[in-house]
Amino acid sequence: MSKNREIESKTLLEKDVFSAILKTFPSKKSFTQINYYFDDDKETLKNNKISLRIRLYPDKAEQTMKVPAKKLRQESYHEVIEINDPLSLKVAQEIVENSLNGGVTIFGNNCGKYLSDNFSDICQELKIFSYSKTTRHLLVGPNDCELTLDETSYPDRYQDFELEIENDNPDLIKQTLNTLIQQFNFHSNPQNTNQNKIARASLHRN
């Protein structure tokens, strides 16, 4: 289990800008992941600004909650507390299949403890409401700051392209983002900035 503070800039890009950035900077690695998102019918977690997912990689899996940080370290970028519990791929696949077939999903470990401590009344009502599939590219960007480029598809076949810059230092995020904006001539505005994937998955479900 890991619990950490996540500070990141999130910017939706046009495909040509995404491709140009991808071709410009050295690649560290690329991989595919599938996220299955959980909530109850009343969207209790969403209404409390919490996301809950099971993420499948080719050879492993994890369950993750993103919950509001009680005290923000900055106000410019997306900032949450992320709780991760590792799962075997087999167990995660069984949980997903059970939920898709209408079974009850009970989360254990630290995500489960957070739910039972704060949302005990909905613990047996959680189910998958959408999913997304992402090809993720990790690059060595300006200032040796890691860039994450995500190409994501949703149940209705909609696709989007996103740049994420995650770092504990907000000033480095700002400097790196400004460098990319100048170099690749894109703009950061309320419509393309700090839009989380779970909201897009909800919008683009079948």
6 touches 66 (CB < 8 A):
yes
Q: Which CATH number fits domain 2-203: 2.40.320.10, 3.40.50.150, 3.40.50.2030, 3.20.20.70?
A: 2.40.320.10
Query: Strand 146-153 and strand 127-140: pairing?
Result: antiparallel
- Taking only the tens place, the pLDDT of each residue in 170-184 is 999 999 999 999 999
pTM listed for this prediction = 0.94
Measure CA of the first residue to CA of the last residue in the chain; give whole Å.
Answer: 33
Taking the C-alpha atoms of residue 180 and residue 147, their distance in angstroms, rounded to an integer, is 10
For the segment 95-105, what is each residue's pLDDT rounded down to a tens digit?
999 999 999 99
Contacts (Cβ under 8 Å, ≥6 apart) of 195: 10, 12
